[in-house]
Amino acid sequence: MADHWPDAALSRDKFLGGQLRLWQPKQGYRAGVDPVLLAACIPAREGDSLLDLGCGAGVAALCVAQRVPGVQAAGLEVQPEYAALARRNAAENGVSLEVVEGNLAQMPETLKQRQFTHVLANPPYFDRNASTKVADKGREAGRGEATPLEAWIEAAAKRCAPKGTVTLIQRAERLPEMLGHAAKRLGSLEVLPLIPRKGRAARLVLLRGRKGGRASFRLHDGWILHEGGSHPGDRENYNAATTCILRLGAPLPFPE
């Protein structure tokens, strides 16, 4: 089947200011700004290849492909219904995306024989040994860690080509764990904290490493997402730079 949900159970949401219109389940895992920010920091160029591990409905991979014409994008997704949505989203937006169904812990042969210029992932944020599961299967798969974070990083590093990049977005409290695993398999590690507002602690971080990289570790100044010191009510108040990323498809480059 082209999709596993009736259209009445889906919403078609605007991403990048409407450059992409992507189907997502009304109930279940729904992508927010996190995969868009992840996509924006991928340093892809025309002709590069990329693999999105756990691509869901395809948001991150499609955002990169929309921003960088000529990139060869692929995604791996364990849930068939979300893989079907990713294929549908790619087709209806006229963006090329190869979607493979499978589990990264048992990498499908079609991907096992390949390496990519860039590998990206938005792994589940919550270790369920210290948090509570949610009832919806799709949302739980996107939010609750079933496959250990170490396995995500190991799979990403294996699929990354020499001198290529691996980039993940994750909760800030899990950064020590991520760095420990990444340092065994990648070099030139760098971290960009994502800070809700000036003076607040980072809630999310972007971690990038290079296959075979030799540069020293870098902890960058944080990227501030919102204007002001507090939320002004029931409306968005992203600052101008973040709005350009979320609405216009601008890149989010790591500092040089």
pLDDT of residue 131: 46
Q: How confident is the model at residue 2 (pLDDT cuts 50, 70, 90)?
A: very low
CATH number at residue 53: 3.40.50.150
Question: Could you tell me if residue 51 is inside a domain?
Answer: yes
Q: Are 196 and 225 in contact (CB under 8 A)?
A: yes
The answer to whether position 161 is within a domain reads yes
Domain count, the chain: 1
pLDDT exceeds cutoff 60 at 66: yes
User: Which among 194, 190, 111 is positioned nearest to 156, based on CA atoms?
Assistant: 111
Decide: helix, strand or coil at residue 253. coil
232 within domain boundaries: yes
pLDDT digits (tens, 9 = 90+) for 163-177: 999 999 999 999 999
Task: Name the E strands within the chain.
Answer: 10-15, 20-25, 49-53, 72-77, 98-101, 116-121, 126-127, 144-145, 160-171, 187-195, 204-210, 218-219, 223-224
Q: What angle do CA 246, 36, 211 make, to 5 degrees?
A: 135
- Does 171 map to a domain? yes
pTM over 0.85: yes
Domain that holds residue 34: 7-248
Place of tokens 């294929």: 87
In a domain, 85, yes or no: yes
256 is a domain residue? no
Residue at 255 is within a domain: no
94 within some domain: yes
What is residue 17's predicted lDDT score, i.e. its pLDDT?
96
Q: Which residue has the tokens 């790591």?
A: 254
